[in-house]
């Protein structure tokens, strides 16, 4: 039987496109870096193009830009209310970057930057540190209230504080891991299901294989649709959790 090369992990290989060494540190321009830069340029380019000549009655492209902005601003407004206004640009940047990187990854032969924990983990740690810095800056020592929920009897409070510390420390891991694991797992599943088609044709002969492949193909289409949904949903969840965590920094102890 012939072998068909369908290594589902091959798509996650980071390759150097441009060798760069600065003081012994490898900062080569990789395919991952390229798709991140491409995503950022696409976002900036789209908004510059869509809002180049804004009108009171918006055109289609302007509507899209406004809905995009309004969606993110709506999240911040719902979670953080008026206090969240300064954080709209931050949450908008995070949401747009993750969303566009995820969608770019859905294109054939494209690289999914968000399927690497280095990328998602960096964003998660940044969010985590930002929450700590803003919390301490705005509230000083009162920020420690985030570990002390109100209305808990003193005899179990010490235990609840330990749990809250664990919960707080698990946030960056949870944020980074969810995005990375979903993108990785989804793309592996996609590749494996799609790989069934050539494997069946090789294994069962052309006619039999084609019949079987026709049964597999709807599944592949379904998984692709699901992945498009997940690409949006993961950006949405990351944005919403950033807001929820920022809310803790602004109002510690106000669960």
Partner 1 sequence: MTALAFSGVFLPEGAHRPGYSLSNGVGGHPMGDDLNDRIAKAQAELDAQAGPSKSAITGPGMGLGFRMAADFVAAIIVGALLGWGIDALLHSTPWGLISCLMLGFITGVWNVIRTAQASNKANTPPDGKA
Contact residues for partner 1, defined by CB under 8 A: 51, 53-56, 65-67, 69-70, 73-75, 77-79, 82, 85, 88, 162-163, 166-167, 169-171, 173-175, 177-178, 181-182, 229, 233-234, 236-237, 240-241, 244
Greatest extent of the chain over all pairs of C-alpha atoms, in Å: 73
248 alpha-carbon distance from chain centroid: 21
Residue 203: which residues within 8 A CB-CB, separation 6 or more?
A: 1, 209
Tokens, residue 254: 């106000």
Q: Smallest distance from the beta carbon of 175 to partner 1, in angstroms?
A: 8
Structure token pair of residue 143: 């920020």
Q: How far is the CB of 240 from partner 1 (least distance, A)?
A: 6
CB of 121 to partner 1, least distance (A): 12
From the CB of 144, what's the least distance to partner 1, in Å? 18
In terms of CB distance, is 169 or 215 closer to partner 1? Answer: 169
Say how far apart CA 187 and CA 227 lie, in whole Å.
8
Q: What ranges make up the beta strands (E) of 99-212?
A: none
Closest CA to 102 of 85, 83, 119: 119
Residue with Cβ nearer partner 1 (83 or 136): 83
- Nearer CB in complex with partner 1: 79/220: 79
Smallest separation (angstroms) from partner 1 to the CB of 41: 20
Token representation of residue 167: 């919960």
| Dihedral sign (CA 225, 9, 25, 131) | positive
C-beta of 101 vs 201, nearer to partner 1:
101
Of residues 13 and 48, the one with the C-beta less far from partner 1: 48
């Amino acid at each position: 039987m012939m072998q068909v090369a369908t290594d589902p992990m091959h798509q996650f290989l980071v390759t150097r496109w441009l060798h760069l060494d600065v003081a012994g540190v490898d900062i080569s321009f990789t395919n991952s870096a390229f798709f991140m830069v491409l995503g950022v340029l696409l976002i900036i380019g789209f908004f510059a193009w869509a809002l180049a000549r804004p009108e009171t009655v918006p055109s289609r492209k302007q509507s899209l830009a406004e809905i995009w902005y309004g969606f993110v601003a709506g999240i911040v407004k719902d979670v953080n209310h008026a206090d969240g206004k300064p954080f709209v640009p931050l949450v908008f940047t995070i949401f747009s970057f993750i969303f566009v990187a995820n969608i770019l990854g859905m294109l054939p032969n494209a690289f999914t930057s968000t399927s690497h924990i280095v990328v998602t983990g960096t964003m998660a740690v940044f969010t985590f540190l930002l929450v700590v810095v803003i919390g301490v800056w705005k509230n000083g020592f009162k920020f420690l209230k985030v570990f002390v929920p109100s209305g808990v009897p003193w005899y179990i409070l010490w235990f609840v504080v330990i749990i809250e510390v664990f919960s707080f420390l698990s946030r960056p891991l949870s944020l980074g891991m969810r995005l990375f694991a979903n993108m990785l797992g989804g793309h592996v599943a996609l590749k494996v299901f799609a790989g069934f088609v050539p494997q069946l044709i090789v294994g069962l002969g052309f006619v039999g294989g084609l019949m079987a492949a026709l049964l597999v193909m709807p599944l592949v289409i379904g998984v692709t649709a699901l992945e498009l949904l997940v690409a949006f949903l993961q950006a949405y969840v990351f944005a919403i959790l950033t807001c929820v965590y920022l809310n803790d920094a602004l109002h510690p102890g106000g669960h």
